[in-house]
Amino acid sequence: MAILKTKVGRRSFIKTSALAGGGLMISFSWLASCTPGQSVEEVLAMPDEWFELNSYLKIGDNGRVTIRVPNPEFGQNVKTSMPMIVAEELDTNWKYVVSEQAPYDKTKYDRQFTGGSQGIRRAWASLRMAGGTARQMLKQAAANEWHVAIDEIRTEDGQLIHEASGKKASYGAFASAAALLPQPEQVELKDVKNFSIIGQSKKNVDGKAIVTGQQKYGIDIKSEDMLYAAIVHPPAFGQKLKGFDADSVRSMSGIVDVFAFETYSEGYEQNFFDTHTHNKLIAIVGKSTWEVFQAKKEIRVEWEPFNEFSFDMDMFGNKTTVNVPSGLESTSDHLAKFKSHLGRPGTLLRKDGDPDKAFAEADKVIEKTYTAPFLAHNMMEPINCFAHVTPEKALVRGPIQAPEFIEGTIAARLGLPLEKVEIEMSRMGGGFGRRAYGHYMVEAAVISKRVGKPIKMTYSREDDMTYGIYRPAYCATYRAALDADNNLIAFHVKAGGIPESPLGRGAANRFPAGAVDHYLAEEWSEPSNITVGAFRAPRSNFHASAEQSFLDELAELAGKDPIDFRLELLQRAKINPVGENNDYDADRYAGVLELVREKSNWDTAKPGLSRGVSAYFCHNSYAAHVLDLKMENGKPRVENVTCVMDCGVVVNPDAAANMAEGAIVDGIGNAFYGVMTFREGQADKENFGPYRMIRHSEAPKNIAVHFVQNEIDPTGMGEPPFPPIFGAVANALYQATNRRYYNQPFLGKGFELG
């Protein structure tokens, strides 16, 4: 049983909880006079009065519990999983819990951010403390009323029970009294083995509303007297607005106004999530989305190349200058830059032993180069935002992953104090990192201020796909050396990209670093004016693909089974690791490989199927996949995927499995088809016709997700299953075709070194 300090005091509690996880503020609503004989329907009736116990919980008068979730929801199911953590420690009945999306409020909530697979991990301690603290206060209130020791009172299913006297009452009966008590200095938390809600699958609280079309997304927002807006942006990266003829569309049906504007004012110091593509845009405002989209097609605009420029950025407290080159870039230019780095040294990131000597004395040396193109995010719900700006206040509503990073930007652009900016988060129809960049909220706010009306701005699918922000293009060369006994003695990775390297943020210290005596990691990058940003499991989504493909080929050269080969290296990293900064736990890494071997029946061949394996560590979690495919009419068909995850305690197994399944399908689609190429600065794919996505009929017939059972605090879940699926696809394709795949997409063209 864990004992957790609560830092007594209301303000202190808020601060401590925020630092611990920042995931959620809880309101408990327990309606008084709830008796054991009440029906669920009666308990779920709206209370007459609510009582706030702490900044995370408020309790009413019948036992109904309302839990507010500050983290934005875009399908990762935090709106269900986070309340489960609170309800567990509160010891209430899940039937009585209602989950609500909290508003953005920096004074009450911290880290209202969805990204990096950090939601549950960062909030774990504070959510448990919130539930446990409220339960302790309720017990104290009952003890005071019944004149018994608090230790004689137990809780169960939302009830306070004193066995000796036979007294029993619902939480609601003591909510008002508990709300007046001071916070306890510490609370006892449940042992993992005693969990009754955590670890049990609960249905998505919004599931019914989603499938019946009742769920409201940002794109559904409407208000009285609202106008509609669209933007017109340069058709090519490297271009800017020169001039336009507003009169060419002013007379079109429904058009109210046409004007140019700047997203950010000159001299503004951007933060990392202020990333955007074109600063000067044209706004077309009208009476319907259809009418403004029609005007977009007809407006006459002149564009011109821009010169190289730079701007200041605050990178989470570190000041930096970003240089943006001029020019109209093409994919052929990018591939030429990749080739220019082959054979050249990069910037040293890590060096163990004497790699040069080891390679010179090796019995066998293998070297392979891998590439991956730019990728578009392609959320189901296009970028949109509602804004109503008056001289007194700015109200912004819409889908956003990182509201805390855009609030100050909106205030600065509009010249309003922070307290005059209100952000309301809608459920998102996908995000994958793209909605962390909130420039579109600034655009909507600037347009609303200009026209003096509430507006809803919507990007077309073409805007969404050609306006950025993309997954960077990457290239990596791997080299390995074996001795006469086929032992791996040296390993060298040199990776880079446009405009960033996939080896950033410590990736150079991941497996097989620590498992090889002589290890070298280098990186490089090339500047670009094509805007990039976070894309599901940033950097890892390429690094894992290339690394795991190379390890498979290396295992074959060594004459070893692919899983055995990896496990041998992990055993070395466990028993006698090389270096001190290895960014993984060899035991846990080996654990997912051993379990995926068992669950997939790896050692038993399946007639007609070709198999590939891959495993990776990122976002604090471990994932391993075995993928089975077969060739039909010369094309691969994925039949089965066996997935094993070690992400610590699994809060909601169904939700976690859903995330793994989604990552697997998404990864297979991107591995087979995903590519964005450019000609003279223009994205050559503008919609889902040319930009090939995986289709329903192409999804695996069977996906089996298994979780390593342990009592480790939860780690990442949304992103870790995504990176290793690329390698599993490549390795299975090799078994099916006897050909190695080095360039993504594996079934497409347009991004090959040649």
Structural domain includes residue 325: no
- Separation between Cα atoms, residue 393 and residue 382, nearest integer Å: 26
Whether residue 365 lies inside any domain: the answer is no
Q: Is 213 contained in some domain?
A: no
Closest CA to 234 of 297, 277, 266, 298: 277
Same-domain check for residues 97 and 184: yes
Residues 265 and 230 in one domain: yes
**Structural domain contains residue 711:** yes
414-437 burial, b for 16+ CB within 10 Å, e for fewer?
bebeeebbbbbbbbbbbbbbbbbb
Three-class secondary structure of residue 12 per DSSP? helix
- How high is the pLDDT of residue 97? 87
Distance, CA of 86 to CA of 459 (rounded, Å)? 38
Residue 430: the pLDDT is 93
Same domain, 524 and 659: yes
Ramachandran category for residue 608: left, alpha or beta (phi over 0 → left; psi -120 to 50 → alpha): left
So what's the pLDDT on residue 1? Answer: 59
Same domain? For 590 and 524 the reply is yes
| Tokens linked to 272 | 């990392």
Q: What is the pTM of this model?
A: 0.92
Burial level of 504, CB count in 10 A (0-12/13-18/19+)?
A: middle
Which of 350, 358, 644 lies closest to 510, judged by CA? 350
Domain boundary among the residues 157, 174, 200 is at: 200
Burial of 318 (0-12, 13-18, 19+ CB in 10 A): exposed
Q: What is the DSSP letter of 720?
A: T
Cα of first residue to Cα of last residue in the chain, in angstroms, is: 60
Same domain, 608 and 501: yes
595 and 519 both lie in a single domain: yes
Q: Residue 128 has which token pair?
A: 């448990």
User: What is the dihedral angle through the alpha carbons of 710, 711, 715, 718, rounded to the nearest 10 degrees?
Assistant: 50
- Domain annotation covers residue 562: yes
Residue 127 amino acid letter: L
How confident is the model at residue 10, as a pLDDT?
Answer: 33
- Using CB atoms within 10 Å of the CB of residue 571, give its burial: 0 to 12 exposed, 13 to 18 middle, 19+ buried: middle
CA distance 474 to 496: 6
pLDDT score for 62: 62
Q: State how far the alpha carbon of 472 is from the alpha carbons of 101, 115, 298, 319, 743, in Å.
A: 33, 18, 32, 22, 14
The whole domain housing 237 covers 218-309+383-458
Divide the 754 residues of the chain into consecutive groups of 10 and give the mean pLDDT of each group. 51 30 28 32 45 48 72 91 94 88 79 84 87 92 97 95 96 86 89 96 94 94 96 98 97 98 94 94 98 98 97 89 96 97 96 98 98 96 97 96 94 96 94 95 98 98 95 98 98 97 91 98 98 96 97 98 98 96 96 98 94 97 98 96 98 96 97 97 96 96 97 95 98 98 91 80
Name which of 534, 531, 524, 461 is nearest 497 in CA terms. 524
Instruction: List all residues 6 or more positions away from 247 whose beta carbon is below 8 Å from its beta carbon.
Output: none
Which residue in the block uniquely carries the two structure tokens 């459920």? Answer: 427
Q: How many domains does the chain have?
A: 3
Q: Which residues pair with 262 in a beta bridge?
A: 280
Q: What is the DSSP string of 319-352?
A: EEEEEE--S---HHHHHHHHHHHTTS--EEEEEE
pLDDT for the residue numbered 61: 58
Residues 720 and 607 in one domain: yes
Cβ-contact 154, 136 below 8 angstroms: no
Q: Are residues 439 and 479 in the same domain?
A: no
* pLDDT computed for residue 57 by the predictor: 54
CA dihedral 457, 460, 463, 469 (to 10 degrees): 70
Domain boundary among 396, 423, 458: 458
Tokens representing 352 are: 């163990």
259 and 167 in a common domain? no
Q: Are residues 492 and 634 in the same domain?
A: yes
Q: What is the pLDDT of residue 361?
A: 97
Q: Considering 408, 435, 458, which residue would you say is the last residue of a domain? A: 458
DSSP output for 452-486: TS-EEEE--HHHHHHS--BBPEEEEEEEEEE-TT-
CA distance 428 to 116: 16
30 and 152 co-located in one domain: yes
Calpha distance 481→47 (Å, rounded): 70
The CATH number of the domain where 170 resides is what?
A: 3.30.365.10
Burial profile 244-261: b = 16 or more Cβ within 10 angstroms, e = fewer: beeeebeebebbbbbeee
Q: What is the separation of C-alpha 333 from the centre of its chain, rounded to a whole number of angstroms?
A: 31
Q: Which residues are paired to 312 by β-bridges?
A: 321
> Would residue 183 count as lying in a domain?
yes
Residue 364 lies in a domain: no
Burial of residue 88, with CB atoms counted within 10 A of its CB: 0-12 exposed, 13-18 middle, 19 or more buried? buried
Tell me how far CA of residue 61 lies from CA of 34, 177, 276, 503, in angstroms.
7, 11, 48, 54
**Domain assignment present for 337:** no
- Whether residues 445 and 530 share a domain: the answer is no
